Amino acid sequence: MELLSGGDILLRALHDAGVKYLWGYPGGAALHIYDAIFRQDKVDHVLVRHEQAAVHAADAYSRTTGEVGAVLVTSGPGATNAITGIATAYMDSIPLVVISGQVVQDKIGDDAFQETDMIGVSRPIVKHSYLVKRPEDIAETIAKAFYIASSGRPGPVVVDIPKDVTDPNTKVAYSYPEKIKLRSYQPTTKGHSGQIKRAVKHLLAARRPVIYSGGGVIMANGSEQLRELARMLNYPVTNTLMGLGAYPGSDRQFLGMLGMHGTFEANTAMHHADLILAVGARFDDRVTNTPAKFCPNATIIHVDIDPTSISKTIRADIPIVGSCDQVMQEMIDQIAASGKRPDGEAIGEWWQQIDEWRERHGLYTASRYGESGGEIIKPQDVIKTLYKVTEGKAYVTSDVGQHQMFAAQYYLFDDPRKWVNSGGLGTMGYGLPAAMGAKMAHPEADVACVTGEGSIQMNIQELSTCTQHQLPVKIINLNNQALGMVKQWQDMQYGSRYSHILYEDSLPDFVKLAEAYGHVGMKVTRYEDLEPAMRECFALKDRTVFLDVYVDPGEHVYPMHVAPGSMRDLWLSKTERT
Amino acid sequence: MRRIISVLMENEPGALSRVVGLFSQRGYNIDSLTVAPTEDQTLSRLTLTTQGDDRIIEQITKQLNKLVDVVKVIDLTEGAHVERELMLLKVRAGGAQRAEVKRTVDIFRGQIVDVGPAGYTVQIAGDSSKLDAFIATLPESDIVEVVRSGVCGLSRGEKSLRV
Ligand SMILES: Cc1ncc(C[n+]2csc(CCOP(=O)(O)OP(=O)(O)O)c2C)c(N)n1
Ligand SMILES: [Mg+2]
């Protein structure tokens, strides 16, 4: 049998686990591994400019493909730089395997150079972690890590490997386990049939139903089932920020996003619902507003693969633990077999009511926001233009802030895995590295990073990675010259005392900055130039383009939940509320 | 309400810190905690006592079950169970007090496991309230040192926590 060093075993195992791209950054404790990378050609290593970006890129690669993302960093600062990325993936249940180099085992605990207790530091933000102690254990640990990361409720797994374990002078036999079985880890995937039956009975009896679906449906590839179920029942669907694209954004039955910046019709329908089918969603505080006032009349059916998500913040009347796709499929089958359909008349009336709400305050009513023209470009119009120019087909990543909410509201995603953002952690700096991950996965597709001049500067160094690895992503910078979302809160709650949200003329010239990295920079300040510039930006297929769009700095994101309040308590504009 | 939760988990380094970390991370209390390997060296059994209403306990058991190292979890207080805690105390007992302390130890079915000129080392086992009661019989100034093991327990009858 062929004998291999720990470093070579690691690379073999990654290949056997299906890894095509390994996002990373070298350093002392990872040097044996980097030498092993050099000596093989099966796994492509992508050198980033900051470890946080490596994790975000792998995370977006995973979100847009459904595969497990893979990362390699060195010990100490390399590992701690990865932490924000890992926490981001953890909050959004993204399957990643993050390999960190560690100091040699002899020195662990001695405060050795670049020693950080990575297992300890990452413990609250990983699904699981391993410290590998012998080269013989590498292959099996990698196989376990990939299995754990991708099964059940997915999440990041850290594998910490001390340098002596990858020593090129110690060679052992390689074998990759065909199957992984863990007595302590057996996630439930099949929903309880009896519970599903009960749920179906309530579903069919509903008069004011809403299907509220989240990121779990995307993770479970349950989009088809969601569409079929919603259509056979003719029930309205709302998606969380994480769930956008699971149900087509342009479909008549879609109410838009719900929650803090959700649509009037989605939030109001939720409030008045007599039945809520929550699938792959977790009643996050950015969705529910005040839990005690949440949807007072609704019977709640909650489907989720993670039992801890059920009845954590909002009590479920009918809990179903299982994979979203499987549970919805069984619902569809049971409904079809029963020959029963919902009360057409009641559902018709419900739709009438919803359409009336839609017309009154929907995102597309004329009064929704002010008009663009001349030097005024409304940020919402930038997203609408992006939607038009890319024909709704782009992969859109975003950072965090107002621009993120405008992107979520106005880009209508018709397909899952196309909207990529940090929903749970809200990590500024996510957008650009995420766009790199999406572009690596889908080189032929348009990839846009909707960002703000604040967020983009948190990982701007990745423009260099885009140059090196030829990642022609389009950066759409909604430049409002402020940390806009913070400014909005300061306007609404702190008497417009703008504490540290302005840059006092210190913003870089983004056009020149893009050019310095070898990219194309464009600046747009007039509305009539917006669409032509956007078209030019996407016509430059092989170039990374930085489109710096100066938008109305006074704009707020609406609707916005009034706190503390119920789902239907919303600010609709700076002066108007429900 | 006070609950006794028993956890069977992989006897791996790091497993204990994940359990303890879970409690601090999610804001749950641990009143006592005991852990040791079982007859099967690959498994550890951890017993902890905590407080909380049904909802919190439901979350705690679910969250514990979610930990990859955890094989099984039961809430012993859900049914009939036996619970024991071990306590060792050093108490001052000189002169006339000596006989008095000895009598109290006998009443509590404790044992004197070490004797010195100025006092005893006493061992008492029982449920936590019995240990509390014993302490309450002694004047505070006579207690030199106390160590308690934390609660361990088993459910009564056929029910068991095994792989
Ligand atoms: C790493 C990080 N730090 C701070 C915040 C808090 N935060 C949320 S939105 C925001 C402002 C973002 O500004 P910008 O990127 O320009 O977007 P805008 O809101 O102006 O569209 C801040 C500071 C955050 N989400 N992430
Ligand atoms: Mg801004």
Q: Is A181 a catalytic residue?
A: no
- pLDDT-above-70 percentage for chain B: 100
B120/B73 same-domain check: no
Ligand 1 site-directed mutation target among A92, A261, A478, A483, most atoms within 8 Å of CB = A483
B55/B6 same-domain check: yes
Closest by CA to A502, choosing from A484, A525, A488, is A484
Fold agreement (A193-361, A379-557) = yes
- Among protein residues, the one with the nearest Cα to ligand 1's atom 9 is A401
Q: Rounded to a whole number, what is the distance in Å from the CA of B71 to chain A's nearest CA?
A: 4
Range of the domain at B93: 82-152
Amino acid at A345: E
Does the residue B119 lie in any domain?
yes
B72/B88 same-domain check: no
State the pLDDT confidence band at A367, using cuts at 50, 70 and 90.
confident
Q: Which residues in chain A are closer than 8 Å to B25, comparing Cβ atoms? A: 124
B42/B107 same-domain check: no
Q: Which residues in chain B are closer than 8 Å to A120, comparing Cβ atoms? A: 17
CB atoms within 10 A of CB A299: 19
For chain A, the domains span 3-173, 193-361, 379-557
**Confidence (pLDDT) at A368:** 86
Which value does ipTM take for this structure? Answer: 0.94
B94/B130 same-domain check: yes
Q: Does A306 touch chain B (CB under 8 A)?
A: yes
Residue A453 has pLDDT above 80, yes or no: yes
Q: What is the pLDDT of residues A503-524, one digit of tens each?
A: 999 999 999 999 999 999 999 9
- pLDDT-above-70 percentage for chain A: 100
B49/B98 same-domain check: no
Residue at a domain's end among B60, B79, B98: B79
- pLDDT-above-90 percentage for chain A: 98
**Confidence (pLDDT) at B13:** 87
Total of domains in chain B: 2
Give the residue carrying structure tokens 């306590």: B87
Q: Which tokens in the block code for residue A553?
A: 């700095």
Read off the pLDDT of each residue in A475-486 and give the average, rounded to a whole number: 98
* Integer Cα distance of A552 and A479 in angstroms: 8
pLDDT in tens, chain B (163 residues): 899 999 999 999 899 999 999 999 999 999 999 999 999 999 999 999 999 999 999 999 999 999 999 999 999 999 999 999 999 999 999 888 899 999 999 999 999 999 999 999 999 999 999 999 999 999 999 999 999 999 999 999 998 999 8
Q: What is the pLDDT of residues A36-49, one digit of tens each?
A: 999 999 999 999 99
B23/B48 same-domain check: yes
A572 lines ligand 1 (CB under 6 A): no
Residues A193-361: name the CATH superfamily: TPP-binding domain (3.40.50.1220)
B69/B124 same-domain check: no
What are the residue ranges of helices labelled H in chain B?
15-25, 54-66, 97-107, 128-137
Does the residue B38 lie in any domain?
yes
Q: What is the pLDDT of residues A72-101, one digit of tens each?
A: 999 999 999 999 999 999 999 999 999 999
Strand pairing report for A209-213 and A237-239 = parallel
**Confidence (pLDDT) at A364:** 83
CB atoms within 10 A of CB A321: 22
- Does the distance separating the beta carbons of B10 and A184 come in below 8 Å? yes
Does the residue B23 lie in any domain?
yes
Q: What dotted CATH number matches A3-173?
A: 3.40.50.970
* Integer Cα distance of A129 and A123 in angstroms: 7
Closest by CA to A478, choosing from A419, A513, A431, is A431
B14/B59 same-domain check: yes
Mutate to test the interface with A, among B23, B24, B68 (most CBs of A within 10 A): B68
- Does the distance separating the beta carbons of A123 and B66 come in below 8 Å? no
What's chain A's average pLDDT?
A: 97
Q: Which residue has the higher pLDDT, A189 or A74?
A: A74
> Domain of B104: which CATH number?
3.30.70.1150
Residue at a domain's end among B79, B99, B116: B79
Q: What is the pLDDT of residues B32-79, one digit of tens each?
A: 999 999 999 999 999 999 999 999 999 999 999 999 999 999 999 999
B75/B26 same-domain check: yes
A496: region left, alpha or beta (phi > 0 left; psi from -120 to 50 alpha):
left
Q: What is the pLDDT of residues A258-285, one digit of tens each?
A: 999 999 999 999 999 999 999 999 999 9
pTM of model > 0.90: yes
Element (H, E) at A116: none
A502 lines ligand 1 (CB under 6 A): no
Query: Closest partner residue to B9 among A184, A307, A312, by Cβ?
Result: A184
Task: Give burial (CB, 10 Å; 0-12/13-18/19+) of A77.
Answer: middle
- Ligand 1: nearest atom to the Cα of A451: 15
B75/B10 same-domain check: yes
Residue at a domain's end among B79, B111, B144: B79
B93/B56 same-domain check: no
Q: Does B127 touch chain A (CB under 8 A)?
A: no
Class of domain A379-557 as given by CATH: alpha beta
Closest by CA to A23, choosing from A77, A78, A91, A87, is A78
